[in-house]
Structure 1
Amino acid sequence: MTPRSPRTGQHPTPPQSPWAAVTSGLCKSFGTGPTRVMALDHVSVAFRRGEFTAVMGPSGSGKSTLMHCLAGLDSVSAGSAHIGDIDISRLSDRRLTRLRRDRIGFIFQAFHLVPTLTALENITLGMGLTGRRPDQRWLAQVVAALGLEKRLSHRPSQLSGGQQQRVACARALIGRPEIIFADEPTGNLDSHTGAEVLKLLESCVRHLGQTIVMVTHDPVAAAYAHRVVFLADGRVVDDMQAPSADTVLARLKDLSGHRPGSPAPYSGPAAAR
């Protein structure tokens, strides 16, 4: 029997897991028979709360597929994927939609802003569609953190690419998700604007306590993260802390010679579950 608090008589709140997202033995395949492709091959990895993680690897390594499975955008073939304490691979479509709405944020290479709406309306659109109202203090904090105070009445055509991506970042943050998945968020930006967006993402982690998992092919972008997880041939092959652009580039060059089917050199900890 769970003990009750001596003061309130209520069950104490269990401690929150340090992990925002975890996979265990995650497999994802496409096709059947001789055309079957194993995009993810028994991937076990964990993403800590309040951490900025980059996911990298050669083309076809499975990095985008991993993000899509973790975000509930793709089903899993075997194994499990958790957001917090919820195994999303076991959820019905309705519950999965609700979880994505309430607990996950998305930032994509394409900004996906509605051209007829203002920046503020784009930021709050998702909440409005589900009948929720944004917390005005949190909205003000997010807008200030992203430097959008003077751009809220502007439509996307009146904003630069960097400003549009800031609006997309604010839209992802406004619902206070447990985790944000960013898929090549600087892919459509020049190097200067991309650096500004990456600094903003890192600031959201440092000052707002956000958890961000970013798929990128760019070693410079990955260097803004606290950690880089490397994939090759659908498997985790390395886990780098405190990355620099040079160390990431060197590791990617090593992976470019990684032969399909060869043993993965990664020997770090498995998923924390």
Structure 2
Amino acid sequence: MTTTYTSRVPDAASAPAGVAAARATDLSKVYGQGETKVVALDRVSVDFRRAEFTAIMGPSGSGKSTLMHCMAGLDSVSSGSALIGDTELTTLKDKKLTKLRRDRIGFIFQAYNLLPTLNALENITLPLDIAGRKADKAWLDRVIETVGLSGRLNHRPSQLSGGQQQRVAVARALASRPEIIFGDEPTGNLDSRAGAEVLGFLRNSVRELGQTIVMVTHDPVAASYADRVVFLADGRIVDDMFGPTAESVLEHMKSLDARVRTS
């Protein structure tokens, strides 16, 4: 389903000078061998700067989700380097990688992944509870206010709309103050109004909370909420845009789709 939103130009119209929250260097991911070999990522190098909202786009099969999964430590790397801050993911053992994902990375997916028996507040604090960490109340209150959930904290998922459930998922990702949040089509299951609300909350979390967000999306208007769009094709980064608009992103995507069809 193609989702459309009311477009708005993001606050940052140019690349801010900042330190990388995550970095890939000559990152490759290969599946299979011989005749079944598929090169999903081909020597990709990219920085994701702190307090910046980056969208990753590309035609189907371009490697955008694979890049996000490798950078988030959800998939292994065939060669090259993937860092969160100054920590190299490719050298971490499973236990340390799990701890890094828990303590330093937030995730927002298309499916809300909320526990139906817990209310909104309990779902938001669940990762902290599992880690045995106490929530910073001032930060948690600020996150809840930013995503507009103050009046819904005692409601269970079945009592919330899809947009409200995704707001809970956003708040859950923000609650632990991660260094970076990765989103995989986070508004893909939402209607246009709910999608615009969630994108607005993500935009606000960057502007008001200093959060770093990297989002995979297929939607040019969703990408227009970002500070920057990174375009992939055939497993390689082929373009990089700052201050995107829905129209400029759409033109880039049309060009990439045509290139893929004729290659």
Shared fold (TM-score, shorter chain, > 0.5): yes
1:56 aligns with 2:60: no
In structure 1, C-alpha distance between the alignment counterparts of 2:262 and 2:179, rounded to whole Å: 35
Q: CA deviation at 1:130?
A: 1.5
More helix by share: 2
Q: CA deviation at 1:115?
A: 0.4
Report Cα offsets for 1:93-143 as digits up to 9, x if no partner.
011001001100000000000001000000011111121111111111111
Q: CA deviation at 1:78?
A: 0.3
In structure 2, C-alpha distance between the alignment counterparts of 1:136 and 1:251, rounded to whole Å: 43
1:252 aligns with 2:253: yes
Which residue does the alignment assign to 1:209?
210
In structure 2, C-alpha distance between the alignment counterparts of 1:78 and 1:156, rounded to whole Å: 41
Report Cα offsets for 1:178-208 as digits up to 9, x if no partner.
0000000100000111001101100000000
Give the letter aligned to residue 252 of structure 2: R
In structure 2, C-alpha distance between the alignment counterparts of 1:258 and 1:41, rounded to whole Å: 17
Instruction: Verify the 8 A CA contact 1:53 1:225 in the aligned structure 2.
Output: yes
Give the letter aligned to residue 248 of structure 1: V
Instruction: Verify the 8 A CA contact 1:183 1:214 in the aligned structure 2.
Output: yes
In structure 2, C-alpha distance between the alignment counterparts of 1:193 and 1:141, rounded to whole Å: 21
Which residue does the alignment assign to 2:236?
235
Q: CA deviation at 1:257?
A: 1.9
In structure 2, C-alpha distance between the alignment counterparts of 1:24 and 1:140, rounded to whole Å: 37
In structure 1, C-alpha distance between the alignment counterparts of 2:260 and 2:146, rounded to whole Å: 44
Give the letter aligned to residue 76 of structure 2: S
Matches within 5 A, 1:1-273: 18-259=19-260
Q: CA deviation at 1:260?
A: 8.4
Report Cα offsets for 1:14-42 as digits up to 9, x if no partner.
xxx70000000000011111101000000
Closer/same/farther in 2, CA of residues 260 and 80 from structure 1, 3 Å limit: farther
In structure 2, C-alpha distance between the alignment counterparts of 1:144 and 1:259, rounded to whole Å: 43
In structure 2, C-alpha distance between the alignment counterparts of 1:258 and 1:90, rounded to whole Å: 36
Q: CA deviation at 1:243?
A: 0.4
Closer/same/farther in 2, CA of residues 27 and 36 from structure 1, 3 Å limit: same
In structure 2, C-alpha distance between the alignment counterparts of 1:210 and 1:129, rounded to whole Å: 22
Taking every aligned residue pair, what percent have the same amino acid on both sides? 67
Closer/same/farther in 2, CA of residues 251 and 145 from structure 1, 3 Å limit: same
Give the letter aligned to residue 43 of structure 1: V
Q: Matched residue of 1:225: which SS? A: coil
Q: CA deviation at 1:259?
A: 4.1
In structure 2, C-alpha distance between the alignment counterparts of 1:158 and 1:100, rounded to whole Å: 30
Give the letter aligned to residue 39 of structure 1: A
In structure 2, C-alpha distance between the alignment counterparts of 1:141 and 1:194, rounded to whole Å: 21
In structure 2, C-alpha distance between the alignment counterparts of 1:132 and 1:62, rounded to whole Å: 35
Give the letter aligned to residue 217 of structure 1: H
Which residue does the alignment assign to 2:8?
none
Instruction: Verify the 8 A CA contact 1:233 1:260 in the aligned structure 2.
Output: no
In structure 1, runs of 5+ residues without a counterpart are 1-16, 263-273
- TM norm structure 2: 0.92
Higher RCO structure (Cα 8 Å, ≥6 apart): 2
In structure 2, C-alpha distance between the alignment counterparts of 1:35 and 1:234, rounded to whole Å: 16
Q: Matched residue of 2:259: which SS? A: coil
Q: CA deviation at 1:169?
A: 0.3
In structure 1, C-alpha distance between the alignment counterparts of 2:93 and 2:181, rounded to whole Å: 22
In structure 2, runs of 5+ residues without a counterpart are 1-17
Give the letter aligned to residue 247 of structure 1: S
